[in-house]
Structure formats: C-alpha cells, structure tokens
Amino acid sequence: MPAFDVTANPTTLEAKVGEKNSLVVTVTNRLGRPVTARASAVVDPAVGSAWIKAPPDAQKAFGQAATLEFQFGIEVPAAAPPGVYKVRIDVVDVEQPDDNFGQSPMIAVTVPKPPEVVVTQGGGGVPWWVWLVAALVIVGVGFGIWKAFFSSKGMPDLVKEPYAEAIAALDTSKFVITRVDTLNHDTTSFKRGLVISQSIAPKAKLAADSNVLRLVVQQSYAVVPNLVEMAPLDAVAKLGSDSLQFRQTFASQSTHTGEGKIASTDPVAGTLVARNTAVTFAVRTFSEPCTNPKICLLQATDLQLQAKWQTAAKLPVAGRYTKPKTP
C-alpha cells in the first residue's frame, strides 16, 4: 500500500501563455506514524518542468493520518511550445524515499497555440480563413490530448522496472492499480522496489476506460547477521544498523562457560528476510530463571537496549523481546 494518498485538483487544465494558474495537491499520511514528506512535480515533456513551481513549503511534517495540501503554481512563459504536458506529483518520506512514497494520477496541462493576429484592410469583418485556422488549431489540440491519454499501444512490460518508473509509464486514469509487496529470493534479478510480475501481460490489449492491474514488487530486504558469541547490546546495535528488530530469550546451561553471550538466533545467520523482521537471539545463563544482573534485562538495561536499537535503526518503535518467566 502506498505510504501517501495523493490527489490533485484539477486533473485537466488549460494554461495560456502569460496566465498564472494553480494546482492544489491533497496528501494523506498512511504510514501510521508521524513523518516529514516532500512533494515535487514530474513533467513530460521535461521542458515544462521550469514553469511548474513547487510551493515554498514543499516539505511538511505530517502527523499520524494527517491530511495536508500543497499548492503548485503554473506560469507558462512566452517561449513555451504549445501542446499537452503530462504532470505528476510525487510525495516521498524524506528519510526513506525509496520505501515510503505516493503519486498523484496524471494531470493533463494543455498549452494552446497563441492566436494569430490578423490585420484586415478596410473592413471590420473577420475573413473566413481566420475561422478555418482557429478550427484547425482546436482540432489539433484535441488530437494531442487524445494521442497522449487515450490512444493505446498495448500493455507495456514493467517487470524489473522500478515501481515509481512503472507507474509513470502508465496513464493512471485508465488503471486500477494494486501494489503487492513480497520477498523474492532472487535478489540478483530483483533489487528492492523492482516489479517482479504484472497481472496484465505485456502487449495485451487494454480497455479504453478501466484496467485492473496488480503489480508484485520486491520489498526491502536484509540478511540476518551472525550474532553468535556476541554480547546482547552489541547484537542489538548490529540488528538496528541492518534495519532488523529483535527479541531476546534465555538458554539455560549447567556451567558459566560463555555466560552472557548469544548461543543461537532464529532465523539463523545468512537467512534473507524482510526489513524490520524481528530476529530472536538466545543468551546463555547459568540458572533459570536468570538471576545475574549483568546478563538479565532489568528495567535499566531494558531502556538501554531500546535506546541503542532506536539510534541504530532510526525507527520510532522500540524493539521487543521475551523476558524470562518469574518463579
């Protein structure tokens, strides 16, 4: 599911040379936590990027489930080529832009051809051919809109494309798109964020109005590090730096050999897992329940672990672990 819901108003716009227009973009935070997000415009053809102006507050802090607006300005210069420009507004989490983002539907901005100045001699009437030229200009603009948004060349091949680029290649007004994140173990072919499969086959004929498209995307992944014989605090820092969470259990033994060190992990080292997966490590203790304050997670140590994990992982939610049962 996208991290942000992004809608634009209006979705079609005629922008004449010299006129000032505005585009209001509404963004809703779907991350379930506060986040700082940045909005930017993507324009095709790229020459139009110069006259789509981002607002001064293009970066805003969102509360949990908050909805805010961004107002983009549009001012077409005299030298702008007439035609139809495709505009999309992208919104990203400034701390994790590759993982948390959202996109607006495509917006059609039409820059009409400036009317020709006709100088008539001796009469106040407009020659018939002026009306003919105006009609041809209107027909040309209409054809440009149809060509850009409604003509179909079949479904493009999106596999192994970054999700954001795959969406940009589609006229989103003609699709109902569902994103499904999964973990494919072929990390050589599918880096994070790449499309793994699509429900509509490449070159398939598309409907003129609505096409239901399911895109399976490689989610962010990590490899479980080797934590055996490490101290718990060091293991927590290591997991946090790899964007993994933690849980702790105890492995009781009859001797003090290796007491306070990690005996095993679940999953084992080398396992490919999704980012933010919790890795459980078992710490050796001489007695059950644990009585050595240097090993057991007392309240003070608990806070140290959480703080160290948060600092390493740069995440707002503290890690969780399993405490030993009390007698």
What CATH number is attached to the domain comprising 4?
A: 2.60.40.10
Task: Answer yes or no: is 109 within a domain.
Answer: yes
Task: Answer yes or no: is 161 within a domain.
Answer: yes
Report how far residue 54's alpha carbon sits from residue 176's, in angstroms, rounded to the nearest whole number. 28
Please name the helix (run of DSSP H) or strand (run of DSSP E) that holds residue 20, with its range, or none. strand 20-29
Query: Other CB atoms closer than 10 Å to residue 119's CB: what's the count?
Result: 4
Q: What are φ and ψ of residue 71, in 5° steps?
A: -110, 110
| Same-domain status, 9 and 81 | yes
Domain span including residue 248: 222-313
Task: Answer yes or no: is 76 within a domain.
Answer: yes
Domain end position, chosen among 201, 219, 237: 219
Task: Answer yes or no: is 123 within a domain.
Answer: no
| Same-domain status, 5 and 98 | yes
Query: Residue 194 has what pLDDT?
Result: 92
Domain end position, chosen among 85, 113, 141: 113
CA distance readout (Å), 3 to 54, 178, 212, 273: 21, 13, 20, 21
| Same-domain status, 239 and 308 | yes
Query: Residue 118 has what pLDDT?
Result: 57
128-148 confidence digits (pLDDT tens): 666 676 767 665 655 555 555
One digit per residue, pLDDT tens: the chain, 327 residues?
578 999 988 888 888 888 888 889 999 999 889 999 999 999 988 888 888 899 999 999 999 889 999 999 998 888 888 888 999 999 999 988 888 899 999 899 898 887 765 555 544 556 666 667 676 766 565 555 555 544 456 899 999 999 888 888 888 888 889 899 898 888 888 888 899 999 999 989 898 888 999 999 998 888 999 999 998 888 888 888 888 888 888 888 777 788 889 999 999 998 988 888 889 999 888 766 666 655 554 333 444 455 555 555 443 333 333 444 444
| Same-domain status, 193 and 301 | no
| Same-domain status, 201 and 227 | no
Counting the structural domains of the chain, the total is 3
Task: Answer yes or no: is 119 within a domain.
Answer: no
Q: 188-219: b or e for each residue (b if 16 or more CB lie within 10 Å)?
A: eebebbbbbebebeeeeebeeeebebebbbbb
8 A C-beta contact, residue 41 and residue 72: yes
Task: Answer yes or no: is 215 within a domain.
Answer: yes
| Same-domain status, 2 and 101 | yes
| Same-domain status, 7 and 98 | yes
| Same-domain status, 210 and 268 | no
| Same-domain status, 7 and 109 | yes
| Same-domain status, 227 and 291 | yes
| Same-domain status, 181 and 284 | no
Task: Answer yes or no: is 140 within a domain.
Answer: no
CB-based contacts of 134, cutoff 8 Å, min separation 6: 115
Domain end position, chosen among 193, 219, 245: 219
Task: Answer yes or no: is 231 within a domain.
Answer: yes
| Same-domain status, 249 and 304 | yes
Provide the CATH number for the domain around residue 210: 3.30.10.20
Query: Residue 227 has what pLDDT?
Result: 92
